[in-house]
Every structure is written in structure tokens, then in C-alpha cells.
Amino acid sequence: MMPLLRLIPALMLAGCAAAPAGPPFTLHPGDRVGLLVEAGDMPVHTHYESDGRSAGRIARAYPYDWQLDNAVAATVQRELTQAGFSVVDLESQGLRHDDLAGLIGPAGRQWQPSAGPLYEGLRAQGVRAVVLVKDARTLAVQDCSGGPCDRVAEGPGVYSSSTNGVTSWRAVSGFQWNVFLLDPPGDLATAPPLRDTLRAPSVPLYGAVRPGQGAAPTEAELMAVRDKVLEYVEATAEDVVLALGGRRTVTQAAAPVPGGGETSSGR
């Protein structure tokens, strides 16, 4: 795993607000963990530019099929399975991220489960925890010198920033993570210590790709970015396993690029 993925001090937009502490719990090998991923498949390039007097931001998606949805789901499922958990595919049950996003929420200094039938239905299936991954707007970099402190990327892909003619590029793993416990209720992704490991969704790019505002980079050029996005997903999935009480597994290679023999996760 690349050390830089652990060192860049950027924060996910989701989960930054104060949240109750994670509740005490115990999960065991064989316990059921629900998984749902909505990652999108096209990379997004977000560009921020400032000349010291004014600033602006543009974003556009490139029509390249990154197969992120399958690759992210396969990566997280692999880490959960290798930790000994039994993974439940919630998408196959007709569920979407919006159905599950409010499953558990803070209520003062405690966590409050949803009162709807979905929460009770998952518990009736023996599901102990739910992991959600959703592509989202992401705080790519915090830079308070000469401009706004919050530099936001619109999704997974490339973030570039040009200030007074000096441009830098970053790969951004733009995802919102939720790790819901059902009994006792809680969201480990928005409570320490897991919340604090979700702080590095971007990594600088050196010589990998330099997308300009005029011509789009080729699909081959952006594959280096895709690799870094999946490296971050793998590192985060390992942290999720640890937060759930599992064991960190031996790191495996990121999923192959499309057309390079990538196997389907069945999604």
C-alpha cells in the first residue's frame, strides 16, 4: 500500500461533524455483514483556478468505463470475506443507497436506529452490520493560503488546482463510507477511530496524467488514476475490517483495468 495514501491530510465531506462515540460491540467470524456499493463508472475531472483576485471551479465527466462499481464492490467484499464475515449482497435484494443512508443516525450523544421495517428486516436476516459506499463530493485538499480553504472534488477521478499559474494534480477517491452497526446501533465511519482513518481520499500525481482544460486525457492516461483510487478503497476496506473486529489481511493487487482480464463480481 502506498504510504502517501495515509499521509495526505484531506477530509471526506461526510462524517466531519461531531458524532457520538462508537458503541461497544463484538462481531465474530461468520457474522453477516450487508454490503451495498454505488460507485459510478465514469471518472470526473474537477479543476479549480485562482489568480489571487477571483476563483472558479469546473467539473466534467470523461466517457470512460472505469467499472468502478464492480471493482469497488469486489474489493470491499474480498476484505470482508477474508476477515471471516459472511457478506450479504443488499443490491440483489432490490435496495439502493438512498434506502439505507438513514438506517442509523445520531440522536444527541447516542445512536438511533431507523424505526422503519427495513431496519427490523435486516436484523431478522441476522445482519449485524451494513457497509455502504457511495460516490460523492469530496474535500480533495485543504489549502488556506491564497484562496478558499475547502477545495472540493465532484467525485472519483482527477482534481487539479491552478493558483497564479502553478498547477497541481491529484487522484481523488471520492466516496462516502458508512459502517452501520445494527445491534447496538451506531455508524463506525462517522465515529472515532475509523472516522480519523477516512481522512486521505486524495494523493498527488507526479508524471501520471496532466489533464488540461482543453483536451481530455486518454483512457490509458487515466488508468494510473484509477489504480490509485482503488488502492485507497482497498486501504479503507482494511480499516473497516479492523473497525468491525476483524483481522487485517495480506494486501492484494488492485483490480485489473477494464479489458485486462477483470473478473466480474456478479453485480
pLDDT in tens, 90-149: 999 999 999 999 999 988 888 999 878 999 999 999 999 999 999 988 888 766 555 555
Question: Looking at residue 25, what is its pLDDT?
Answer: 86
pLDDT in tens, 9-47: 333 333 345 677 777 888 999 999 999 999 988 899 888
Question: Looking at residue 249, what is its pLDDT?
Answer: 47
- Interatomic CA distance for residues 249 and 252, integer angstroms: 9
Question: Looking at residue 53, what is its pLDDT?
Answer: 63
Closest C-alpha to 267, from 122, 129, 90: 90
- φ and ψ of 30, to 5 deg: 95, -15
CA 240 to chain centre: 11
- Interatomic CA distance for residues 130 and 142, integer angstroms: 30
Question: Looking at residue 109, what is its pLDDT?
Answer: 85
**Residue 227 exposed, middle or buried by CB count within 10 Å (0-12, 13-18, 19+):** middle
CB 127 within 8 A of CB 32: yes
- Interatomic CA distance for residues 42 and 7, integer angstroms: 26
Closest C-alpha to 152, from 185, 132, 174: 174
Q: Return the higher-pLDDT residue of 263 and 114.
A: 114
Q: Confidence band (pLDDT; 50, 70, 90) for 180?
A: very high
Three-state secondary structure call for residue 221? helix
CB 37 within 8 A of CB 227: no
Residue 255 has pLDDT above 50, yes or no: no
**Residue indicated by cell numbers 483495468:** 257
CB 85 within 8 A of CB 197: no
Question: Looking at residue 124, what is its pLDDT?
Answer: 95
| Residue-averaged pLDDT of the chain | 79
Give 122-159 as a 3 state SS string.
Answer: HHHCCEEEEEEEEECCEEEEECCCCCCCEEEECCCEEE
* Bridge partners for 105 per DSSP: 112
